[in-house]
Structure 1
């Protein structure tokens, strides 16, 4: 059951790529929908498709476009076509680059940080100073082609006694079976899921989305 002393968790479903699964997420009242524009990802959508899905979600959830080390040309074209409410940066963008992207696009920016050990939190303060929101994800394996969406958890005890900024979002290997525990142990108020609501890489499952949302909100 939900902790009555805490507000309900805010939920982002990332990597949506079809109208049916987008509609399923929206019908459940998720807070953010994520559109991945990164060709190596099984969740990649081209700019035209991302634009169509974004229009469909407008006014029903905040629309997030995920980019990996984008150059200025890509940023400009994606923001113009998709009109995202938030840009998620999931590459090796430096704090200086994050600040530049925020200035160039005029959009709020969320920076993802990959964690595997306490040392990986060292850059946090620099990113907090320039990003509107921080997403904490599991650090990708060295041989991974993807910077995120690998279905791996990190050790949540890394976050114990850390002073994390308001709005920090938790990601990495979350699913309906572990999201309630993750929220309880980290005391964060926002979660992001992608592979944990899929039947196969890149294939979202409406039933798994519904189960995740129910678990995150502490519903029976």
Structure 2
């Protein structure tokens, strides 16, 4: 699975959160990093259909994703998590997963176990933050995911919890054959997980390629880490 983004532009009045992005994400685990306001979540919102670009193209294995409504993209296999949790607090973990399965028309069998979530009948409000993140990931994997967009899944977690969640995320491409794109401020986690990484700043692409090379790029270190070139 490959995701191709070409000359993508978004305008919010006079603001240009995406200003002509051209980028390809190939199979496996790909990182998407940049400072706050760089355009990362806006890009996810375009890919999932919540923001309409003024111009550009987005395709995956020959499918023009911009022609699909958000619910059709989800059923096609484009899934995502959000910075704000989407679980229903009063429902159990299992019921939250069944709700996602009903909406997406796919199977949820075995997903709680794959994501390492015990206590399926507990209401979501009784789950720890790490357990809720596991549940959010399980919801995104219902059915047959092709592209999984993860928006800061480790935010608020301890280093140990982040590494636990990373172990599950790492297994997704092999088990599901899905492309995973990860927005994450923890550069160490990106370096650990992602084969390739793209960097945005002020709505433009700063660098893209193998993660180690990108993170060593002086322009990236200046934009993201505040270092002087």
Q: Of the two structures, which has the highest relative contact order with CA contacts closer than 8 Å and spacing of 6 or more? A: 2
| Pairwise same-fold verdict (TM > 0.5) | no
More strand, by proportion = 2
TM-score band (shorter)? Answer: 0.3 to 0.5
TM-score by length of 1: 0.42
